[in-house]
Amino acid sequence: MKVIIAAAGTGGHINPGIAIANKIKKEEPNSEIIFIGTTRGIENDLVPRAGYELKTVDAYGLSKKISFKTLSNNLKTIKGFSQAKKIVKDFNPDIVIGTGGYICGGAILAAHKLKIPTMIHESNAYPGKATKLLFKKLDKIMVGFEDSLQYFDDKSKVVVTGTPTKVTPQNITEQEKEKILSSLGLSSKMKTVLVFGGSQGAKAINDAMIKLIKAQKNLNYQLIWSVGQKQYNIIEEIFKKEEIDINNIPNTKIVPYIYNMSEIMNTVDLIVARSGAMTITEIALVGKPAIFIPLPSNSANRQIDNAKVLEKIGAAKIILNEEVNENNLSKYIEEIINDESLMQNMGNNAKQIAKYNVEDKIYEEIKKILKR
């Protein structure tokens, strides 16, 4: 099987693409797979690291705003579509699969013109622009959430598969929990809250957390806080000005990034995070209560829609980005962490939307398309 996967921009786009590629390689080791991405996204790190070739084009998305920069970016994006078409034509794949980012449009359109089968995996509860605009040209749309179905008039080519992720449910024993937490300088006797805002961090969450810690509001629970690789040094300096050693704060472990996220998610009692599609998927799989601070968006409230998937079934609380502060965040944490029954119910509710064997379902859909 020859496959092109178009994915760019964020880990939420790239990692599902890599998971799909890995599944194809597992089932059909002789398959040839390449990725199309942009010249500047995280795909330039993640794709080669996963062992796949990455072809890059210039793509920024088309903007209606008038300025020299947007005009320049629009022209580059149009040129990027031509570059994508050449890559598709030269590689001549059996199928082109998009998993998100500006590059999807060019790759899918090029494949459609060349009569090559196309699919998109849409991980967000609210479908993105590419999915909507390309709907009629796609052979199949795979979605992460049942809630996405309401946005499609023609559901015949839409299938709910779930979203591929590296996080899996684990039965962490008390001994394993103690070992994991002690390696972070924390105790297995206290309730633990995991806080993160993605690989780059989230300023609104970080600002609230800095004040929460300064006010010593976490005396009854402990924190594992991933602040983002670009923000760690900034936050370290903020604490240093208050004569606080970032590596020696009671009940608190602050890190730039968490590499063993599956293990940590299965260990903690509560999760505070943005509400990207991948995060929703992972929280559902591990069955943990959550507090979401959705990333605001000018084009569509995708993260709010994602968060509501869990909020409406009683698995999560939402604090809007512009409203989050140390007081309301602390209040929500305390309400959940001090109520064992509530925590249990929220976690069980989260599991209701969990999707399993996701890669198997996606591979099955790919094979169906290719058999037509």
Tens digit of each residue's pLDDT (9 = 90 or more) over 319-361: 999 999 999 999 999 999 999 999 999 999 999 999 999 999 9
Domains identified in the chain and CATH numbers = 2-163+355-371 (3.40.50.2000), 174-353 (3.40.50.2000)
73: which 2 tokens? Answer: 């970016």
- Residue 165 above 50 pLDDT? yes
The Cβ-side half-sphere exposure at 332, using a 13 Å CA radius, reads: 21
Rounded-to-5 percentages of helix, strand, coil across the chain: 45, 15, 40
Task: Provide mean pLDDT across the span 194-223.
Answer: 93
Tens digit of each residue's pLDDT (9 = 90 or more) over 132-157: 888 989 999 999 999 999 999 889 99
Tens digit of each residue's pLDDT (9 = 90 or more) over 14-40: 999 999 999 999 999 999 999 999 887
Task: Provide mean pLDDT across the span 41-68.
Answer: 76
Tens digit of each residue's pLDDT (9 = 90 or more) over 185-205: 999 999 999 999 976 779 999
Show Cβ contacts of residue 305 under 8 Å, excluding neighbours closer than 6 positions: 124, 125, 126, 147
27: which 2 tokens? Answer: 């089932």
Task: Provide mean pLDDT across the span 102-127.
Answer: 91
Q: What is the model's pLDDT at position 198?
A: 74
Angle at 348 between CA 277 and CA 212, to 5 degrees: 65
% of the chain beyond a pLDDT of 70: 92
Binning pLDDT at 50, 70 and 90, where does residue 62 land? very low
Show Cβ contacts of residue 15 under 8 Å, excluding neighbours closer than 6 positions: 46, 164, 165, 166, 278
Q: What is the model's pLDDT at position 230?
A: 86
% of the chain beyond a pLDDT of 90: 76
- Residue 73 above 60 pLDDT? no
Residue with more model confidence, 160 or 133: 160
Task: Provide mean pLDDT across the span 180-185.
Answer: 97
Task: Provide mean pLDDT across the span 104-126.
Answer: 92
Binning pLDDT at 50, 70 and 90, where does residue 95 land? very high
Task: Provide mean pLDDT across the span 79-93.
Answer: 86
Report CA 366 to chain centroid distance, whole Å: 22
Q: What is the model's pLDDT at position 302?
A: 84
Biggest alpha carbon distance in the chain?
67
Task: Provide mean pLDDT across the span 251-262.
Answer: 94
